Amino acid sequence: MSTPTSPDAFEGPATARRLAEILRAEISAGQLQPGDRLPSERALSTQYEVARNTAREAIRQLTESGLVIAFHGKGVFVRSKPRLMRFGQQRYSKKLRDETGVSPFQAEVIAQGRTPNAYLTDIRRTNPPSWVAERLGVDGSSETVVRRENWYFADAEPMQIGTTYIPWSIAEGSVLGESDDLGKGDLYARFEDKGHLITYTREEVTARMPTPQEAEDLQLPAGVPVLVVRHTGIDQEKRPFEVTEFVMRSDFMGLDYTMPVDQ
């Protein structure tokens, strides 16, 4: 099926979608190369005989799918890097942790040919949110967890914010509740030292629009949603020992899960 050169035949709400498909096809075919600037809204409007708001919506769809990135005052450009994938099953492998000595995020970023950075921005003992208390089986009315907030980058671009909650009964007297100096194997190696080998995971994935603060921290273009992954680490005795909420850029990141199917 050939790609139409004009969306004129498609009326109503489909017009912006079809224009986005035309531009997406040009990117896939190499007519628009990584780093190329897209025509302006005015130019697209003239070329395809559509309203400017239709051109704007088509660009928004491309931005949301991670194919282009907007720079204020400069224009919209074809992304030069592929989407960073989060590997659901492999990322918590003990073998991978022992071989690399780094965190799951750092290991998967390196495996995709990019340079990771992660920073602990806040650590404190606190009351858990109700959903965290339920998952960990702790009292939500008192300071029963340690909260660790980390920001994650690939090639100096912000990718996600991760907020980890650890029961105080596990973190007390440990580096888990005190600093970012976690040593070889990072967070999950320290859990293993405490007798909690990550053996199972539970992950709930949703999407929503970012809060103003999240949009600023992640440098999100207008209209781009975030992916929210609520992860629970479960040990060899099927005991939950940590919960992390990841807020991820949907334009830069994706999820890649491989898992057995129940018989």
Convert the pLDDT of each residue in 131-190 to its tens digit: 999 999 999 999 999 999 999 999 999 999 999 999 999 999 999 999 999 999 999 999
Question: What pLDDT, on a 0 to 100 scale, did the predictor assign at position 162?
Answer: 98
Lowest mean pLDDT among 60-69, 160-169, 175-184, 223-232: 60-69
Question: What pLDDT, on a 0 to 100 scale, did the predictor assign at position 8?
Answer: 46
Q: What is the CA radius of gyration of the chain?
A: 22
The whole-number average pLDDT for the span 37-56 is: 92
Q: How many CA atoms are closer than 13 Å to the CA of 42, on its beta-carbon side?
A: 1
* pLDDT surpasses 70 at 5: no
Query: CA-to-CA distance for 135 and 129, rounded, in angstroms?
Result: 10
Phi-psi region of 223 (alpha: psi -120 to 50; beta: other; left: phi over 0): left
Question: What pLDDT, on a 0 to 100 scale, did the predictor assign at position 3?
Answer: 46
Check residues 250 and 66 and name the one with the higher pLDDT: 250
pTM: predicted TM-score of the whole model, two decimal places: 0.79
* pLDDT surpasses 50 at 10: no
Query: CA-to-CA distance for 235 and 243, rounded, in angstroms?
Result: 12
Q: How many CA atoms are closer than 13 Å to the CA of 230, on its beta-carbon side?
A: 9
- What is the pLDDT confidence band of residue 9, given thresholds at 50, 70 and 90? very low
Instruction: Please report which helix (H) or strand (E) contains residue 214, including its range.
Output: helix 212-217
The whole-number average pLDDT for the span 102-118 is: 94
* pLDDT surpasses 50 at 234: yes
Query: CA-to-CA distance for 71 and 52, rounded, in angstroms?
Result: 19
Task: Report the mean per-residue pLDDT for the chain.
Answer: 90
* pLDDT surpasses 70 at 11: no
pLDDT tens by residue, 82-104: 889 998 878 999 999 999 999 99
Question: What pLDDT, on a 0 to 100 scale, did the predictor assign at position 176?
Answer: 96
Query: CA-to-CA distance for 12 and 184, rounded, in angstroms?
Result: 57
The whole-number average pLDDT for the span 227-248 is: 97
The whole-number average pLDDT for the span 240-258 is: 94
Q: Which domains does the chain have, with CATH numbers?
A: 7-78 (1.10.10.10), 84-256 (3.40.1410.10)
- What is the pLDDT confidence band of residue 13, given thresholds at 50, 70 and 90? low
Question: What pLDDT, on a 0 to 100 scale, did the predictor assign at position 12?
Answer: 53
